[in-house]
Amino acid sequence: GLVVTQLDVQPGECVKVKGKIPSDAKGFSVNVGKDSSTLMLHFNPRFDCHGDVNTVVCNSKEDGMWGEEDRKADFPFQHGDKIEICISFDAAEVKVKVPEVEFEFPNRLGMEKIQYLAVEGDFKVK
Ligand SMILES: C=CCO[C@@H]1O[C@H](CO)[C@@H](O[C@@H]2O[C@H](CO)[C@H](O)[C@H](OCc3cn(Cc4cccc(/C=C/CN=C(N)N)c4)nn3)[C@H]2O)[C@H](O)[C@H]1NC(C)=O
């Protein structure tokens, strides 16, 4: 999927990805951080994959190692949705705004800028 490098998103700024969720989507992820091995946030809505159904799984990755997963209560996604995903952060947390719901996740790595964004799986970036 889409990979963007050389970004320089500062605290308080937001990076926005618009796209469509295919009608047969099993899952997708939006990853932000330094690079593919060092992620501030792996935001992974799962419709039906890895044994999860309609569950948003969030995690961080440090030097290629996954952290502790954080499974969210809300699942505001449906097949066929056209959505905007807005990601912003500060020293304490990362915020993911999607229609109707804002998810929060701790800034575990204390990252001070987002240089990398990658979208994977069943999300058609517009
Ligand atoms: C219970 C058994 C042990 O516990 C499980 O252990 C697994 C392995 O660690 C974790 O899973 C891992 O969790 C990680 C976060 O923590 C990442 O998400 C990782 O995926 C990385 C990854 C991303 N990508 C690209 C991608 C991303 C999204 C969709 C697709 C494909 C679309 C599918 N569309 C189809 N097929 N049409 C592809 N590939 N790999 C996932 O493997 C499970 O959560 C965890 N489950 C629980 C309940 O604890």
Mutation pick for ligand 1 pocket among 53, 57, 60, 123 (CB with most ligand atoms within 8 Å): 57
What are the DSSP calls for the chain, one per residue?
--EE-S--BPTT-EEEEEEE--TT--BEEEEEEEETTEEEEEEEEEEEETTEEEEEEEEEEETTEE---EE-S-----TT-EEEEEEEE-SSEEEEEETTEEEEEE-TT--S-B-EEEEEES-EE-
The response to whether residue 81 sits with its C-beta less than 6 Å from ligand 1 reads no
Mutation pick for ligand 1 pocket among 28, 69, 70 (CB with most ligand atoms within 8 Å): 69
- Per residue in 1-42, pLDDT (tens digit) is 999 999 999 999 999 999 999 999 999 999 999 999 999 999
Look up the ipTM and state it. Answer: 0.94
The response to whether residue 48 sits with its C-beta less than 6 Å from ligand 1 reads no
pTM of the model: 0.97
- Per residue in 58-106, pLDDT (tens digit) is 999 999 999 999 999 999 999 999 999 999 999 999 999 999 999 999 9
The response to whether residue 3 sits with its C-beta less than 6 Å from ligand 1 reads no
Using only C-alpha atoms, what is the Rg of the chain? Answer: 13
The one-letter amino acid at 52: D
